[in-house]
């Protein structure tokens, strides 16, 4: 469905909060209160983020979590990977099997490039940037296929359509 899981969503929100308040540490209970989510859920997310090395954790009394790296060093892509595994837009990218097309799949290599493009985009957005509203966002995806090299360079938002 081209959608990020809720856990990843939660993770981004929590990490963004921690990025904005770097000095102190927060316990899972704290975060649950802040994010207004059930404790077990928050705990699960924090555990995963800790295991991925994005958070440092301190056990025992006075324990809690805090950001392990600079907010500029943590990208949205990294968070997503930490919480839901490798970013793979299609299944055949995740597991490297071929689809059932007769003579090999023609779109496969293109899916790889699309996947790479999306991943690369997510890789460029850091937690530091998530803390403050991005005032502008432009995507230019250049596809210098021989015939259509020029017409893909312009940025057109008008074609957007919703259901």
Would you give the binding string for DNA spanning residues 59-88, x where CB under 7 A is met?
Answer: xxxxxxx------------------x----
Q: Which is nearer to a second copy, 61 or 109 (CB)?
A: 109
Considering the rule CB under 7 A, would residue 44 count as an interface residue with DNA?
A: yes
How many residues are recorded in the chain? 163
Q: 120-146 in b/e burial notation, b at 16+ Cβ within 10 A?
A: eebeebbbbbbeeeeeeeeeeeeeeee
How far apart, in whole angstroms, are the C-alpha atoms of residue 57 and residue 104? Answer: 47
Would you give the binding string for a second copy spanning residues 70-99, x where CB under 8 A is met?
Answer: --x--xx-x-xx--xxxxxxxxx-x----x
How far apart, in whole angstroms, are the C-alpha atoms of residue 117 and residue 89? Answer: 11
Residue 42 Cβ, how far from DNA at the closest point, in Å?
Answer: 8
Could you say which of DNA, a second copy, ligand FES, none residue 43 binds, taking C-beta under 5 to 8 angstroms by partner kind?
DNA
């Amino acid at each position: 469905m081209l959608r990020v899981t809720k856990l990843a969503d939660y993770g981004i929100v929590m990490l963004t909060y921690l990025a904005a308040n770097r000095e102190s540490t927060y316990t899972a209970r704290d975060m649950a209160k802040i994010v207004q989510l059930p404790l077990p859920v928050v705990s699960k997310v924090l555990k995963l983020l800790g295991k991925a090395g994005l958070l440092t954790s301190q056990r025992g009394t006075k324990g809690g979590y805090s950001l392990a790296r600079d907010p500029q060093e943590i990208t949205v892509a990294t968070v997503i990977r930490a919480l839901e595994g490798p970013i793979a837009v299609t299944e055949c990218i995740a597991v490297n099997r071929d689809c059932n097309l007769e003579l090999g799949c023609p779109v496969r290599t293109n899916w790889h490039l699309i996947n790479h493009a999306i991943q690369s985009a997510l890789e460029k957005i850091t937690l530091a940037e998530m803390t403050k509203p991005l005032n502008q966002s432009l995507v230019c995806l250049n596809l210098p296929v021989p015939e259509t090299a020029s017409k893909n360079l312009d940025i057109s938002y008008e074609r957007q359509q919703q259901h």
